[in-house]
Amino acid sequence: MTERDYQQELDDLHSGKTSHFDITPEEFQAFQPVFHGYQYRTQIEAEAHRGGTLTYRLKKR
């Protein structure tokens, strides 16, 4: 299994290259420290889904 580059996914989301990305419950512990250290995290929101998957996207202005 390939390790995901969460920093790059957050950068792509912030720059508009992507509109969203999903984090599974299995990935959450690896993702969370990267997210908490991300400079623009206050501009990003997560939507929880049944089963524990989270969808991250930019907040609407």
Work out the average pLDDT over 41-48.
97
Q: Which run of H or of E encompasses 48?
A: strand 44-48
pTM: 0.90
What is the Cα–Cα distance from 61 to 30, expressed in whole angstroms?
A: 29
What is the Cα–Cα distance from 12 to 46, expressed in whole angstroms?
A: 16
pLDDT in tens, 7-34: 999 999 999 999 999 999 999 999 999 9
Work out the average pLDDT over 47-58.
97
Q: What is the pLDDT of residue 60?
A: 81
Task: Read off the pLDDT band of 3 (50, 70, 90).
Answer: confident
Query: What does the DSSP 8-state code read for residue 54?
Result: E
